[in-house]
């Protein structure tokens, strides 16, 4: 299979490229700045794409079998000013619309599109379990996710099998949220956040890329899939598991008010929980390598 991964120089993109190349697939990745993207896995080719030009991307995806679209500005990279919120939304919606346009322009278009999204689609739901059948929530991030997913809908009208990968918190020591979580524990200052009762839907990086590969290679699957481990945990339980993996206590609480003062609206990422379940992924037959958070953290931090 020939696969192009947009945003392939990021955490998930690099790991996915390595996974697919190691399985014998022909893999290319795109980046806005190939010169600063760093070293890629063996056998993976790099191409420049500005995330906006449909014609430029159409040339890159001509004749390939699949596109995995991962482009999007990090939602936790800075305080949510109005300008930051605009960039978060536009980087997802406009780039996805460009992918759909590129698919329409290609003479020999890919058969499958895996489009990134997030479990923030469901919004803050307290203790409610959410599956792919649950409706979207309210607020900034749910609205972004809805617009993001709708921007790629035109691919289905072209006969392209579209998969929407709604991802939770990806755990990896190479980037993402985990290194930020580890630091206070190493300083003996780790503990529950904002009371610790909020749910955390997480996934080990190996399962993130394993699930995407599984969905790519299964011709009968399409539509939304929650890419989260089957056992979400409360924040305080995640902290305890992280403390045990690091041989550190998990005793010092972080007040929600302090987070709101420090991060503003972005604090909702830490305060509001998501109890998402990977129902459709399990029904499709995917077997998780790391279903338990304690084992996953030991595997990552040993």
The token pair at 84 is: 């930051």
**Which pLDDT value is given to residue 262?**
63
Q: What is the mean pLDDT of residues 232-247?
A: 94
- What is the 8-class DSSP label of residue 164? E
**Biggest distance spanned by C-alpha atoms of the chain:** 59
Q: What is this structure's pTM?
A: 0.94
**Which pLDDT value is given to residue 41?**
82
pLDDT band at 251 (very low <50, low <70, confident <90, very high): confident
241-245, 246-250, 251-255, 278-282: segment of lowest average pLDDT = 251-255
Q: What is the mean pLDDT of residues 110-116?
A: 97
Q: What is the mean pLDDT of residues 74-93?
A: 90
Q: What is the mean pLDDT of residues 66-72?
A: 96
**Which pLDDT value is given to residue 49?**
94
Q: Which tens digits make up the pLDDT trace of 142-181?
A: 999 999 999 999 999 999 999 999 999 999 999 888 998 8
Highest mean pLDDT out of 5-14, 38-47, 202-211: 202-211
Query: What is the Cβ-side half-sphere exposure of residue 196, based on CA atoms within 13 angstroms?
Result: 14
**Which pLDDT value is given to residue 265?**
78
At residue 2, does pLDDT exceed 80? yes
Q: What is the mean pLDDT of residues 217-241?
A: 96
Q: Where do the domains of the chain lie, and which CATH numbers do they carry?
A: 2-171+202-228+276-289 (3.40.50.720)
Q: What is the mean pLDDT of residues 265-280?
A: 86
Q: Which tens digits make up the pLDDT trace of 175-217?
A: 888 998 898 888 888 888 888 999 999 999 999 999 999 999 9
**Torsion sign (Cα): 10, 16, 20, 25:** negative
**Which pLDDT value is given to residue 287?**
98
The Cα-based distances of 43 to 19, 32, 35 in angstroms read 11, 20, 17
- Average per-residue pLDDT for the chain: 92
The Cα-based distances of 74 to 204, 253, 257 in angstroms read 18, 26, 23
pLDDT band at 259 (very low <50, low <70, confident <90, very high): low
pLDDT band at 263 (very low <50, low <70, confident <90, very high): low
**Torsion sign (Cα): 139, 293, 70, 210:** negative
At residue 50, does pLDDT exceed 90? yes
At residue 38, does pLDDT exceed 80? no
């Amino acid at each position: 299979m020939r696969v192009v991964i947009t945003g392939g120089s990021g955490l998930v993109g690099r790991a996915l490229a390595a996974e697919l190349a190691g399985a014998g697939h022909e893999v290319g990745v795109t980046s806005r700045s190939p010169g600063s993207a760093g070293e890629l896995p063996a056998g993976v080719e790099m191409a420049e794409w500005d995330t906006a030009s449909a014609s430029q991307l159409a040339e890159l995806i001509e004749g390939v079998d699949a596109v995995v679209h991962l482009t999007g500005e990090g939602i936790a990279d800075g305080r949510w000013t109005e300008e930051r919120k605009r960039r978060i939304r536009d980087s997802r919606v406009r780039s996805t619309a460009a992918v759909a346009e590129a698919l329409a322009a290609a003479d020999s278009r890919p058969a499958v599109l895996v489009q990134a999204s997030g479990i923030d689609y469901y919004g803050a739901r307290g203790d409610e379990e959410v599956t792919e059948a649950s409706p979207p929530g309210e607020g900034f991030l749910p609205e972004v996710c809805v617009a993001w997913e709708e921007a790629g809908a035109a691919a289905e009208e072209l006969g392209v099998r579209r998969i929407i990968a709604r991802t939770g918190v990806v755990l990896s020591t190479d980037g993402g949220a985990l290194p930020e979580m580890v630091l206070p524990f190493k300083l003996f200052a780790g503990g529950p956040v904002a009371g610790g009762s909020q749910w955390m839907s997480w996934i080990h990086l190996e399962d993130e890329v394993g699930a995407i590969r599984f969905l790519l290679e299964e011709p009968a699957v399409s539509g939304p899939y929650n890419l989260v481990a089957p056992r979400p945990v409360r924040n305080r339980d995640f902290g305890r598991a992280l403390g045990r993996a690091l041989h550190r206590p998990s005793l010092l609480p972080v007040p929600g008010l302090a987070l709101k003062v420090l991060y503003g609206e972005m604090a909702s990422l830490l305060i509001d929980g998501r109890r998402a379940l990977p129902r459709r992924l399990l029904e499709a037959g995917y077997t998780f390598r790391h279903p338990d958070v304690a084992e996953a953290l030991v595997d990552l931090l040993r």
